[in-house]
Amino acid sequence: MGRELREVVYVDGVRTAFGKAGPKGMFWRTRADDMGVKVVRELLRRNPQIEPERIGDVVMAATAQVGDQGLTLGRDVGLLAGIPNTVPGFAVDRMCAGALTAVTAAAGEIAMGAADVAVAGGVEHMGHHPMGEDVDFNPRFVAERLVDTSAVTMGATAENLHDRFPEITKERADAFAVASQHKAAAAWQNGAMKETVVPMAVFSDEGWRVADRDEFLRPDTTLEGLAGLRTPFRVAGRVTAGNSAGLTDGATACFLASAEAAQELGVMARMRLVGYAFAGVEPELMGIGPIPATQRVLERAGIGIDDVDLLELNEPFAVQVLTWCDALGVDAGDPRLNPYGGAIAFGHPLAATGVRLMAQLVYGFRERGGRYGLTALCIGMGMGCAVLWENMQ
């Protein structure tokens, strides 16, 4: 028996400030799940029309599903945030695409009528849980040459991109990084970030403080300053701390709803989910993953890249963005691309990043207009994700 799928819309999204991972970072003494609780509670506060018992599911992502971001994170965060125990929750993992996978999973529930409203987001405390810690990689990966050994070190995969695409020089990567920092600084100055960043009280060695600003912002970044940075992944390499996203702690969450439920509840449907695509590529070249994912979602939607008015692409490494730009025919300085800066300036808390991209896309639609917007990123172990949205503001 056939059935018609329901339209899924984005209502609202928020994030914590993004902090440096490790003992010197502002979230060092803060639990990962409490960061998730903070953003979910802020969603509830900002959207009082959505009664907590109306939520159909809470989907939260984490790459390292251990310790304070273990258990079934969606259920854990939902209960701690005060959502009734009648509302279920679950956790997902697709590394850097964790939050976007949480969104597409929740969207599937809404489209099928299993939920009218859902919370989706992600948490990553890379200070408490460094990438790859407690992971037991199967020796067959290397012994049977299923993947290159560099695939498990993200910085090494970025160096591999420079090898594969020698036209993407360190100078080009550094120039992109400088632009990202400058755009992010302007976005903070003009209030773009303050709309979606939730201040959070955190405890530190100096006592209580408010975490309300990203710690990787470097508005005074220059090409000259980046030129002399060391290349930790390879002698005389091209990937540096300056043209990469730092190790980061942070959390994000958003409200999704069916178009009918949004209208009934009186909340604004800011974006409509048009379509999404995931793709796999060589694990050691994981940075090219968004290329086939973007091509697929555009083909399915029947549009081209020139029809997309805003592009929010994650920036784990500048070289990764530049490979996507070259493949899709988008100039790195195109005003559609990351107009408010990206992960090189904000940081990249793995499973949380996807909702940051969506929140910036919403702001961009309101400020700049346009019909279609894309959120896309690469994923560890050789994957990519692209989600296409339509502006409804």
The answer to whether the beta carbons of residues 377 and 151 sit under 8 Å apart is no
Q: Say whether 378 is catalytic.
A: yes
E strands of the chain, at which residues?
Answer: 8-16, 19-20, 55-61, 89-92, 117-125, 197-198, 200-204, 207-211, 248-258, 271-280, 310-313, 372-379, 383-391
Q: State the amino acid at position 233 in one-letter form.
A: F
Residue 196 to residues 74, 188, 208, 360: CA-CA distances in angstroms? Answer: 21, 11, 22, 8
Q: Say whether 129 is catalytic.
A: no
Q: Please state the domain extents for the chain.
A: 140-193+274-388
pLDDT at 326 over 70: yes
In this structure, what token pair is assigned to residue 67?
């310790």
The answer to whether the beta carbons of residues 103 and 357 sit under 8 Å apart is no
Its pTM stands at 0.97
The answer to whether the beta carbons of residues 44 and 14 sit under 8 Å apart is no
Residue 267, exposed/middle/buried by CB under 10 A (0-12, 13-18, 19+)?
A: buried
Residue 224, exposed/middle/buried by CB under 10 A (0-12, 13-18, 19+)?
A: exposed
Calculate mean pLDDT across residues 334-363. 98
Reduced to 3 states (helix: H, G, I; strand: E, B; else coil), residue 56 is: strand
CA distance 381 to 200: 33
pLDDT at 24 over 70: yes
pLDDT per position as a tens digit, 44-59: 999 999 999 999 999 9
Residue of 88, 92, 91, 114 whose CA lies nearest to 8:
114
Q: Please report the pLDDT score of residue 119 as a whole number.
A: 99
pLDDT per position as a tens digit, 69-99: 999 999 999 999 999 999 999 999 999 999 9
Mean of the per-residue pLDDT values of the chain: 96
pLDDT at 2 over 80: no
Q: Say whether 385 is catalytic.
A: no
Reduced to 3 states (helix: H, G, I; strand: E, B; else coil), residue 306 is: helix
Which position among 96, 254, 325, 385 bears the catalytic label? 96
Owner of token pair 């909702």: 355
pLDDT at 232 over 80: yes
Could you tell me the sign of the dihedral formed by the alpha carbons of 27, 362, 368, 331, in that order?
A: positive
Rounded to 5 degrees, φ, ψ at 366 are -65, -35
Q: Please report the pLDDT score of residue 35 as a whole number.
A: 98
Which residues 6+ apart lie within 8 Å of 177 measured at CB?
221, 226, 242, 243, 244, 318, 344
The CATH architecture assigned to 140-193+274-388 reads: 3-Layer(aba) Sandwich (3.40)
Which position among 254, 325, 378, 385 bears the catalytic label? 378
In this structure, what token pair is assigned to residue 244?
């990469």
Residue 1: band (very low, low, confident or very high) from pLDDT cuts 50, 70, 90: low
pLDDT at 345 over 90: yes
Calculate mean pLDDT across residues 347-363. 98
Residue 335 to residues 133, 172, 269, 364, 367: CA-CA distances in angstroms? Answer: 38, 17, 25, 11, 13
Q: State the amino acid at position 286 in one-letter form.
A: M
First to last CA, the chain: 35
Q: State the amino acid at position 240 in one-letter form.
A: T
Q: Please report the pLDDT score of residue 135 as a whole number.
A: 86
Q: How many Å separate Cα 311 from the centre of its chain?
A: 13
How many other CB atoms sit within 10 Å of the CB of residue 234?
A: 16
Q: Please report the pLDDT score of residue 152 as a whole number.
A: 87
Q: Please report the pLDDT score of residue 158 as a whole number.
A: 98
Q: Identify any residues that bridge with 258 across adjacent strands, giving them in sequence order.
A: 8
